[in-house]
A and B are shown apart, each in its own frame.
Chain A
């Protein structure tokens, strides 16, 4: 009996016991669909983080107050650490100090309630300089960004993020209207285009904010402190990023008069941020994939279990086939192919469910899910391997049956 023939026999056996075949495949279906989904969730989370970090701008260094830990990891600045000031930003902007830095944008950030007419909306007030728009690579859908004069004067003007604008002014053009923040009336002079970063959290949203001149922000908070939350530093090109990093580091160490071991600031690159975020994601993905792998293993054992039952149930058929001239290897092949078929069909159904889940899930849990062709192929390969691997034992049991014993039982 050739392979095609054996395949047909196996397909007949799978088809004639539909319910049992389905139940056998169930474990593999669940395993494969969860592998496809967890890998998809992991990749989706990575894509999301990348888009958020890319949306910060390009060739960026982000200087934050507070010390950095030894390697890679960044410890957030302490609340009281007002170690980064406008003066630092000015130092870095000096081309004699840091020749590979093109632009510098210091920012402050406070959460405030904004009012437009009768509408209230809690948002983030970001105080910064005129460079912010270029450094963060933001465009405007309406109006203009504030000018150097407005920055110098501490003018009561603001540029709203896209989400903030639509929350406060559901109808009409916000430009030229006024909003109130902490008792100060600000005139809306522009609206930012959407950043492109997908973020579910409002505290980090790049689309829900009100940008004001940093001088205005100081007046709003009533503080005379020159402390800033972060300084965005743009290198002249991607190639000069590491040179710029060295210059910024050296300049700040000098001006703060500290050694690098006791630095009171930290510098992060986009790559470093990405690596930190991804390492967390990766742990989660590995954990989930581990759970999925265990369910695949259980599915494989299910296949073996049912195949053993099937061999016992079909001793008569096996005996007859042997009497008619089936060699032990022909019988072994028949049952191996049957098990592989169950595995591969289960894998296909599982992959299909995984793909459907990946298409449906994002709208339900607000998490992007990537469909990875490689993961699907690997999952199918694994399910075929499971079928073969867990089919070996039942198949050799069937092959070892003697035709007499097999024919005798009734």
Chain B
């Protein structure tokens, strides 16, 4: 994990996804080839209807491709059953959602510890690791607060701590700033940057250009196909801004 860039985390080859809605078949992804190396900070940007959500579901092992292969951390996960996918999600992926998706009746600490419960980590070790993850996002003093007692930015940081707690291969963030004001957004994006600097692999899905610009590499998805460019190319950035 510590030696960045030596391992391929994500390898999509010829991935297609077709939804059969009644008689008409909708092709959401039309042949996607993507490779993401360990330690990369990648943004996937696209307007709604571009296939962005479908790609996120496949990357997150929440769904499987109709065609093509998906290797996650060296393992082919294109054709696994739901129970196996659940284990992969638990071990390899840390989700951050737009809606935070914290359970309202649990304290921040128990929310963070939840993935460990499904990983079979119990007792003192679990508490220790959950506290450590909360510490990582700077919220150790809010461990016993419920989500309702935290601000939006704090809730999203708790969610990031939950994504970190199992030490996954990648963090998959789906519109993580979509429900936040600009200050909290900047706060959360700074946290991602910090995690990236510490060697984490981050895949951020968004429709906002300035959020995508935070990443080192931007993949644009449109009509189910990917076009790639470097985010720090000022000219491209300006061009994307006019879209």
Contact = CB atoms under 8 A, between A and B. Distances in A.
A410 B60 contact: no
Contacts of B105: 12-13, 16
Interface size class of B (residues with CB under 8 A): 20 to 34
Interface string B66-108: 0000000000000000110011011100010101010101100
B51 interface: no
Interface in B188-218: none
Interface in A387-410: 402-404, 407, 410
Given A12-B106, A324-B162, A407 B118 contact: no
A407 B97 contact: yes
A323 interface: yes
A324 B60 contact: no
Interface stretch (A172-180, A326-334, A347-355, A364-372): A326-334
A325 B82 contact: no
Contacts of B118: 1, 321, 324-327, 330
Q: Which of B83, B90, B117 has the most CB of A within 10 A?
A: B117
B56 to A, nearest CB: 10
Contacts of A325: 86-87, 89-91, 115, 118-119, 166
B225 interface: no
A2 B119 contact: no
A322 interface: yes
Given A1-B117, A321-B114, A327 B86 contact: yes
Contact of B83 (A316, A324, A328): A328
B136 interface: no
A320 interface: yes
B26 interface: no
Interface residues of A, number: 24
Contacts, number: 65
A182 interface: no
B87 A316 contact: no
B237 interface: no
Contact of B101 (A316, A328, A404): A316
A232 to B, nearest CB: 72
Interface string A286-326: 00000000000000000000000000000011001111111
A239 interface: no
Contacts of A257: none
Contacts of A321: 114, 118
Contacts of A12: 105-106
B100 to A, nearest CB: 10
B57 interface: yes
Given A323-B95, A407-B101, A328 B86 contact: yes
B150 interface: no
Given A320-B103, A324-B95, A326-B118, A404 B86 contact: no
A320 B101 contact: yes
Contacts of A316: 101
Nearest to B94: A324
Interface string B45-68: 000000000000100101100000
A358 to B, nearest CB: 37
B97 A317 contact: no
Contacts of B89: 322-325
Nearest to B106: A12
B59 to A, nearest CB: 12
Nearest to B63: A404
A317 B120 CA distance: 19
A321 B117 CA distance: 10
Contacts of B82: 327-328, 402
A397 to B, nearest CB: 15
B114 A404 contact: no
Given A324-B89, A324-B114, A404 B57 contact: yes
Nearest to A4: B122
17 contacts: A2-B122, A12-B106, A16-B105, A316-B101, A320-B103, A321-B114, A321-B118, A323-B60, A323-B89, A324-B89, A324-B118, A325-B86, A325-B91, A325-B118, A328-B86, A404-B57, A410-B99
The 9 closest A-B pairs by CB, nearest first: A325-B90, A325-B118, A327-B86, A327-B83, A16-B105, A324-B115, A320-B101, A1-B117, A403-B62
